[in-house]
Structure formats: C-alpha cells, structure tokens
Amino acid sequence: MGRIVIEGGYPLEGTVRVSGAKNAVLPILAASLLAEEGVSQIEEVPHLLDVRVMADTVSALGAKLEWNGSTIRVDARRLLSVCPPAELVRKMRASFVVAGPLLARFGEAMVALPGGCNIGPRPVDLHIKGLEALGATAVVENGYVHFRAPRGGLHGARIYLDVPSVGATQNIMMAAVLAKGQTIIENAAKEPENVDLANYLNAMGARVRGAGTDVIRIEGVNRLRGATHAVIPDRIEAGTFLIAAALIGRGVYVENALSHHLMSLIAKLEEAGAVIEDHVEGIKVWPCQGGRMKPLDVKTHYYPSFPTDLQAQMVAALTVAQGTSTVTETVFENRFMHVAELQRMGANIHIEGRTAVIEGVPRLTGARVTATDLRAGAALVIAGLLAEGQTEVYGLHHIDRGYDDLVGKFRQLGARLERIEGDPEIAIAKSVG
C-alpha cells in the first residue's frame, strides 16, 4: 500500500537528473537473451519495478544477472527455458517482447498474453502477424501464445504494420536479426527507444538500418554476442519534470534531458508561455507567467508527435490554465482515468469522446486521490504540487513501475512531499485497539 503526502504550493528550483529510459531498457534486457557469446553490460539502468520484473523474467529463462548500481551484466550464453513465468509476463506489457529473441535463438517461445497499464484494450495481433510473416506459427491457447519457427529457421520478409506499434516493431526487429535474409518493416514505430534497441542490437553484431524512420531494414546474421550499451535518458520522466517546472518552477534544470526527443512537448510548453533553454547536457525551464499556462490544444500521436505517456501530466497542468484547453488521446482508447481523480481536486474537465475539454480554474485544492495507471500517478503528483493544501496519492505501485525515486527527485527541487508506507486505515485500527 503506501501513499505520497504532498503539501502543495512550494516552488521548484535547482537541478534534477533524469534516469535511463524504462521503455528502452526493457526491450534491451529482452534483446540480451540473443547473445550466444560474451556478456552484455547495460548501463544507466533506472531503478524501477518494471526493470525488476524484466530482470526476473530474463533470470527465470536461465540468464545470469549481476547488478552493480545502475549497471547490469547479463550472461545469456546458457538459457534453460523458452517459457517465461506467466505471473511475471502478466505484470507488464513489455515482457511480451521476449518472444522475438527466444523464437529467433531457439526456434520456439511460449509467452503468456501480457499485462500492462489499464489504458484500454492492448492486443498483440501485430506482434503475432509480424512473427508469422517471418515463418513462425503462433497458437493461442490457455492464455499463452506458442510460437514455433519452421524447420529451417525464420526467414526475412517484408512486413507492413497497420499501426506503428512500438512493441510489435521491437519483437519483429529482435526476431529478424537472426532470420535468414532481409526483413523490411514498413510503417515501423520511430520512437527513440526503438533506435536505442537497434543500436544495442548492432553493437551485438546485428545489421539493423533505418531505426527511427518509417522503414527499418534488417539483414539477418548467424550469431550475436554480448555488448556494452548505455541506455538513453527517459524522455517521459524528463517531460514530467518539464511540465511541473513550467508551472511552479523558479528555474529548473532537467539534466540529461534530450531536447530532440521532446520537440512536441517543448513546442507546447513554449506556446503555453514557458521559456525553455536547450543546454548541452539538459534543458532549463522557466515558468509560465503567474504559474498558469495559456490554454492549449494537444493531440497525442505516435512519435515524434505529442506522446500519450505525457498526456495525463499535461491534463493536470492545464487544469489551472488561463482558459479552455482540449487534449485528444488518439493512441489508447481509455486513457482518461486520471480525470475523475483530478476532479476531486477541483479540476473542471469533461470528456467528449476521445477529447478532454479542460476549463482552467484558478487553483486546485488538495484531496485524497488514487493513481489508476503509471502516468496518471505522475499527473496526480503534479496536481498535488500545484494544489492548495494537502494531497494524498494512493496506488503507488503504478508510479513505482516507471519512475526512479519520483518523490526524492521532487524533494531535491524543494517540493514538500513524502512517501509513507503502510495502510493508514490499518494503522488507525491498530492504534485504536
């Protein structure tokens, strides 16, 4: 259980350092399973629940992992299983991407249908279609997908993705690196995390070209070896701090944030009145006048458009904008669960189809709220920092999935918040008798 208790209204000032990207390190750990020789060294690994789950998944398959601060060494030379434990896979969406590497290396993978944030239906049909195009068969039964490569192994193919799915692009890329011949993925996801994955695969000896564009070309090789790789900074964590600093900052330097990964957010923050300075090693942000944004129209879409993973945080910020804003979610069907919680804090928002219409109010007031998913949790923390009075945020396991010490980092910037473990109701019951 546990909660974050926030005293709102204190300004943010100083420097905060962004950790490595969750959505890059997860597929990279899966890709480490491809190394038949040598050991991989993954650096800049954030301390997250999801990383722990992926590390446990990779270990359960037989890889040997050694942690040293934010570095993990993975020895995947001898693996024991092609079936990761379902209880781990069901914990998060990203675990499904172990299918590609296992299928490529062993000709078989049996992976449970994945879990992940509660943000609408999240099928894996494109992952399956892509791996089938490489020659695999896929049978869905008892909650698992059982992939098998043909007798002669996977072969290259031309694959057009109906939507540029991040995870499907990763799974296909990781299977194709060991397939015979050339694979072309068209309408591929262009997210920087996929470029990072491709860079790691290439360091392992793969031949992947075009990651970060719509068309990725992969020439299959026979074997891959372990490699050293530093994970890129987390643009969503960086964006979360930039949004908060645009409202209640007094000059905040977000160290390790890469502006070229955050163009859509920076453009919107500037439109809202914040001043953004691009430095070599980070981004400095000065707040909007009076700590309130000018109203905005924001629409989420695939990279490089505005990321769905920053939508909730932006909605929180716009609750106190100087007018009416709209935020349209086009990537996921049900990613407005934070709205009901923000309403408890005095936000004036109504949902019209896939659009949140936000009438800016002069201030939010503290309340007891619950994170329903990872980014909803970050949005509620931002709202708590803005609000008058005390806010308690519950549902911390969501936040722990994807933020490396969110509370500590905001405290470092001068915010007043603390994490309290345990269930207050149980504590009260115990103290009463």
| The one segment of 104-112, 159-167, 207-215, 349-357 that binds ligand UD1 by CB under 6 A | 159-167
Binding mask 95-134 for ligand PEP (x = CB under 6 A): ---------------------xx-x---------------
Report how many residues bind ligand PEP under the rule CB under 6 A: 11
94 binds ligand PEP per the rule CB under 6 A: yes
CA 229, CA 40: separation in Å to the nearest integer? 8
In whole angstroms, how close is the CB of 164 to ligand PEP at the nearest point? Answer: 15
93 is in an annotated binding site: yes
133 binds ligand UD1 per the rule CB under 6 A: no
**Which 288-317 residues touch ligand PEP, going by CB under 6 A?**
309
129 is in an annotated binding site: no
Binding mask 196-235 for ligand PEP (x = CB under 6 A): ----------------------------------------
Query: Which does residue 402 bind out of ligand PEP, ligand UD1, none, counting CB within 5 to 8 angstroms by kind?
Result: ligand PEP
53 binds ligand PEP per the rule CB under 6 A: no
Tokens 């008058």 label which residue? 388
21 binds ligand UD1 per the rule CB under 6 A: no
Binding mask 308-347 for ligand UD1 (x = CB under 6 A): xx---------------------xx---------------
| The one segment of 158-166, 220-228, 255-263, 353-361 that binds ligand UD1 by CB under 6 A | 158-166
What lies within 8 Å, CB to CB, of 140 at 6+ separation is 113, 128, 146
Residue of 125, 186, 277, 418 interacting with ligand UD1 (CB under 6 A)? 125
288 is an active site residue: no
Residue of 123, 143, 150, 181 interacting with ligand UD1 (CB under 6 A)? 123
92 binds ligand PEP per the rule CB under 6 A: yes
381 binds ligand UD1 per the rule CB under 6 A: no
124 is in an annotated binding site: yes
145 binds ligand UD1 per the rule CB under 6 A: no
> Which one is catalytic: 117, 138, 195, 318?
117
Compute the Cα dihedral for 49, 51, 57, 63 and give only its sign.
negative
Query: Which does residue 349 bind out of ligand UD1, ligand PEP, none, counting CB within 5 to 8 angstroms by kind?
Result: none
375 binds ligand PEP per the rule CB under 6 A: yes
Q: Which residues are annotated as a binding site for phosphoenolpyruvate?
A: 22-23
Q: Which residues are part of a known binding site?
A: 22-23, 93, 122-126, 309, 331
Mind telling me the catalytic residues? 117
Q: Which residues bind ligand UD1 (CB under 6 A)?
A: 23, 26, 93-94, 122-127, 163, 165-168, 189, 308-309, 331-332
